[in-house]
Structures are given as structure tokens and as C-alpha cells.
Structure 1
Amino acid sequence: MISTMQKQYSPPQFPWLSVGALSVFLMALIGFESGVSVTERPELSTEGFLTKAYYSLSLFVVGGVDLGTPLGGPLLGQAMVWTAYFGAPMLAAWGLISALLRALAPQAWQLKRLRNHVVVVGDGELAISYLRVLREHNRKTPVVVVSNTGSEVLRDEFKQSFGAVVVSGDITHQFFLRELRVERARRILLLNDNSLRSYEAASVLLNLVPGIASRVIIHCSSLRFMRSMANTRVANHCHCFNTYHLAASGLVRGQMLEHFHETRPKDVVILAGFGRFGQTVLEEMQNSASGELDTVLIIDKDARRRVLVADEQMKFSGDYRRELFEGDIAHPEVWEQVRNTVSVDGDNTVFVLGTGREEENLRTALWLRRKYPQSMVIARSSKESLFATEVGREHNIISISIAQLLEDNIPRDWIEMR
């Protein structure tokens, strides 16, 4: 608790304007008290303390115009009054201009007026994908993007393409969250790549605004961390997701389930690559198509370790057969081992090329299509690729991108504001 409080504390700025105004007032008052008078009010030197204090304050309004110039008294006293004569109107003008700039600042004005808005924390591809989908369905909902990038081009893109107010700040600080008017927001999407910071911000939000949990959406980039946090208060009350979960759900339900239902024998699925995408595809198949599976073959350079990590939290289930092959999908020997282990010649075979190497996925997909013409071949890329899509159409390969699957499967209630 102590470390959290230290982390959130930021020292207040020194009140230069207030200290300056007080100093000028005291210099004028001390000067008048020392015996200094003024040409238009020569009796001032004999007046009481309150009268001198009143005229000292008037310097901030009229700047000594009605009082005339300092007269008499000690030299130091006159110097102090002359300093106050110049300092008071300058400080008054400075304060007025500062207040006017704060009042007229577009960002501050927009933040104060926010209501029924969407707060997006993050400035990566995920944030851009979400905003693109949001604006396709809803052009009017106010959007605030919390971006700590130094890229002016990216900030301009958020402003011009999505009409967003772009701000910078620490999302774990209560003061900053209050500035975002989170209590009046319709949705708060924590889309940072730093999962721990997102969970921390959600925890602060739950304590700051009671009842806000249903409006908080957390992206967790680490599947292992998300599964480990599954039984925490934040995870139980807020909506937590992973990009690959949404993408895998869209792929299995939108492409693979129909194929499973159409093929008479149970299906053989080869997952070439068992990173976050491969793991979530298998998890989704277990949830929605376990009865359709005969065998799942997993190919990865680090297959055994990754399967152990996934099995630790995901728990493989179902009565299908599972085979592991450690190796590179670019090596022909791996595919020879696959062929010797299970029959992959029929139309009930599905190849999912889901490694992080997009070129290798596409090249291997073409090779598999020629070798196993009856099978279903899926090749994955990170971003939507016109070239990969064209190749897919030409050679009967399903070309998918994580970004497009994500955009196609963003839940409607995240973007449809009622």
C-alpha cells in the first residue's frame, strides 16, 4: 500500500503567482508604513494600517494611477513602493492572461464538457482497430484517447480520422482519471500493451467510481498473465480479453465450424505454430467443436514447453487425439512425420499456418494446397494484406489477418452506445 501511494503521489506545483502577489502587496504596505506618501494622497503617510493596506491592494487594480507617484519617506521605502507600482499591474495582467488561456484552451474546455463518451487508453494497432470499428457504427460518440507517444503524426491521426481529443497522462493516477470524467463515460477501454498497468488502472477505477466495472474493458496482451488473474476482483467485475481470443473465436466460428459440420468423419487439425494464436484456436475448438475433432497435431519449434505452459492453465479437454512435433514448418521432415502419424489426405483435414512468420505461412500454405488439394488451408498474417488475399483467392487458401478478425469480432455492446 505504501509503495502504491508513493507511486501515485506527485508534488504540487509551486504557487508562483500567489507568492508574487503577496510579496508585492507586502512591499507596498511596508513602504507606506515606513513613511512614504503619494502625490495625489499626501495624507496617506499619517493614515491607519487598514487604509494603507487598502491602497496597497488598489495597486493591482489601478496600478497607482489615482494615487500619483511615491513621495517622501526613506529611500528604501520609496524603492519598495516603486517596485510594487510596476509589479502589481504586471502580476494582475499575468494572472488574467493565464486564466483566459486556461478558459479558452480547447482541450480543457472539451474535457469539462465530456458526457457519455468513450475513453481509449493506448495508441497501438488495437486502439486504431477499435476506433475504426466504432466510427463505422457511431460517428457522434465523443472519444478521448490517452496517448503517451511522442509522435505528432499519430496524435494527428487520432484527431483527424476519429475526431478524438488526445491527452497524455498516467492512467493509474486518480486526479488524471477524474480529469477524463470517467464517472460520466460510457466505456473505458484499457488497450495498453502493459497488462499490469491496465489492471492497476482498472483497480483504481473500481475504487474511484462505484458501479463502473461493467463499463471497463481490459486488454491483456499476455495470455498466461490473464489466465493467472482470472480469479481476481478486477477480472471478475470487468471485461478482460486478449486480441488472439477474439481473433480465434472469429476464425473457428466463422470458418472452421461449418467445415467440421460438412465433413462426415471427424476432423484432423494441424496447428502449425503454437504461440498465442495457436493456443487460443485450440481453446476455442475445445469450447465449441470438441465433438468434431479426431486428432490435433501441434507443430512448433518449442512445442513441448508451450503445450506444458498452456496445459497448466487452459487444461486440454475432449476425447480427441493429440500429437506434438518439435520443428520448423519450413523443414520437409516435419511434414513427413505428420504424414506418417495420421492420414491428412482427406477433405476432413484442416491446416492452420499460424506462426509469427507471415512469409513462411503463405509459402507453406501454397505447398500444402498443391500436396493436399482436398484439405482446408488457412494462412495467418498480422495485418490485412491485399497480396495475401489475392493469393488466397487464386489458390483456394483462406487468408486471415489478426487485425481483420479482431475488427470483425469486436462485441457489439462495445461500440453500440445506448
Structure 2
Amino acid sequence: MGGRPLGADAVLLGFVRALRAAGVDASSERLYAFLRAVSALRPGMRADVYWAGRATLCGGHDDLERYERVFAAYFGPSGGRAARPVRAAPPPRLRLVARQAPHGPSAPGEGEPTGPPVAALASPAEVLRHRDVGELDAAERAQLRRLLAAFSLHGQTRRSARRRPARRGEVDPRRTVRELLRRGGEPARLRRHRRVERPRRVVLLVDVSGSMAPYADALLRFAHAAVRVGRTEVFTVGTRLTRVTRELSHRDPDLAMAAVAAAVPDWRGGTRLGELVREFLNRWGQRGMARGAIVVLLSDGWERGDPELLGQQMRRLHALAHQVVWANPRKARPGYAPLAAGMAAALPSVDAFVEGHSLAALERLAAVVRGARPVAGPVRGADGA
């Protein structure tokens, strides 16, 4: 598997990562079972890959719909059922390497033999996962939207004050005494209970200013997927603060984007992060929305206002929230350093500083929101903005 970014194994691993981002609990054991099943069947046949994944990666009925969406987005739509095989001679094993598509059109029958059809279909999707969203063409953006439609974002769980009956846990005195009374004082089995775990609220603050224009659509579609499946609140920030949770609650992503476009008055304007973070805290955060929540700012950190104000408000936010995460699309650029005044003022109050430029970066962001430790990387050089 190692060392072949466009090999068949890498393609299948990328597919499993996309399933995990969509909320399918594809554990390492399920992944290895999937790879063994594909290698025992015919990895060049779409049908065999489809059924091998469905049999090994789906743990319940809820996973089936997500699996169908991700498979269609990752391997491309088929003429009929996803199980229809692709027209090609299948290779005997998974070890064949998929070739990267050439830049120009090639005539059929030229030179090299055809590689595994499924790997050839999925290779562009795997490459797309790591491409900068701001550099995609129209066709690649359409495929990115299909992949984002299958996304899922859940916050970390927390133990609530409520308790529910359980086989193990602390003794529930009330239920135990009621059981004794029901039996007329005869000895009865001890009743137990445990605390209920609930997902933490996630709050997304999405920068829609001019400097973030190449990324705004993808980030809002990411937010749409989060609103659809979890306890998530979404605000846009630019020159104004706009709550768009209701607009993003539409099931159809395109309808949701149209509703957001109509509701947000400050597209491609300037950025007043300090004033808008203060407004969020005064109107919503201090009252409870930010308390114990995971607050994610998706912004490049450009600030037209006073950076010191942003630093003060970020300290307030950090004191209220369970975790503050900042996703910056510019962080992935070579030699980037957070030298922009707003970014430098905010960073001391940020728990996790991650990239936000690609689908793979958004998958890592979702993992951090779920509780994974961010991958720390060196930040040095001049500001890549």
C-alpha cells in the first residue's frame, strides 16, 4: 500500500476516508476486511468493489444511504445500479497501479494498456481531495460539491446531568427502592444507571469577505453538511454578522446555498473580525450558545479593524467555549507564517490551528471537531497571503 499515491490501494483508502468523513464507522478492522475482500474478488470491476465495501464497511442500516452517496460521488455516477461493472478486462489482483490521467486527450488504443477501471475512475477523486479549492475548474467544483454533500460533522460528546437505566454503573437508589416495594420487601436485583452522553454544540463562523471568496462556497457546503446531521449553528462574518442556520437547514445543498446568498448582505466585502466576534458573544455566545461548545472559525485572518480588539474577544471566546478551532486556507501555502495582524492576535486563544484549503483538510478539521488531536506542523517563513 505504501508509496503509491495513485495506486489501487491508495484509491480504496481514499474511499474509506471519504466514508469516515460522511459518518460511516469504517474502523481499521473493517478497512482490512474490505481490502482483503476486494483482492479476493476482481478489483477492476465496479460491481465487486461496490459489494465488497457494502458488505464490510457498513455496520447498520443508517450507513447504507451514506455509502451509496459516497460511492456515487467518489467513483462517479453509473448508468444504472452502482453494482453494474465497468467495461474492461479485470486484472487478477489489486497490486496493479492506476495511471494518472494525461493532460491532453488520447486516442483509444495508443501505447499503454488500460489500468484497473475502478482505480482509473477514482484517481481523479483522490487527487481532488488534496487540491486547493481555489484552483478548481467548474467540473472539479461540481465533483467537490457531490463529495461535500456526503459529509458529516459531529462534535465531541459530553456527559450530561441526565441519567438512564443501564446494566452497569452506579446504583439507582430510587428504582431499587421501588423494585423492593413492588416485591413486598423481598430482596431484588440492584437497579443501576449511568449518565447520558450528548454531542457538544458546534458553532461555525464562516468568513465570506473578498479574500475568502474562492473558498466560501465550499466552506458553506461543509457547514450545510454539519447542520444537516448535528447540533450546529452557523454564522457568516465579513462586515456584518449573519446567522444562517435556518437557511442551511434545507436538505438540498443548492437550495440551501441560494437561501444563504439571499440572506447574507456582505458577500466579498471587508473583514471586521474583532467587532463581529464581540457581537456574536454579546448577542448569542454569552447567553449560552458558546458555553461548552466547539467554536470553529473558518477565515484567513485578515482584519481591517483593530487587531487588539480581536485578541480581547478571542480571549473571551476561549474562556466560554470547550474548544476553539481556527481553519485557515492560507496555512497550507509553502512558507506560511501567521503574520497577518488579526491572525497573530487570535492565535494565543486558539486550541487547534488547522488548514482549510481542500477536501482532505476539511476531513482533518472534522476529525479535530470530533476530538482527534491536530497534526502539528512547523510554521515558519513569511506570510504566504
* Both proteins in one fold, TM over 0.5: no
Tell me which structure has the larger Cα radius of gyration. Answer: 1
TM-score range, shorter chain: 0.3 to 0.5
Query: Comparing both chains, which one has the higher relative contact order based on Cα–Cα distances under 8 Å and sequence gaps of 6 or more?
Result: 2
TM-score by length of 2: 0.37
TM-score by length of 1: 0.35
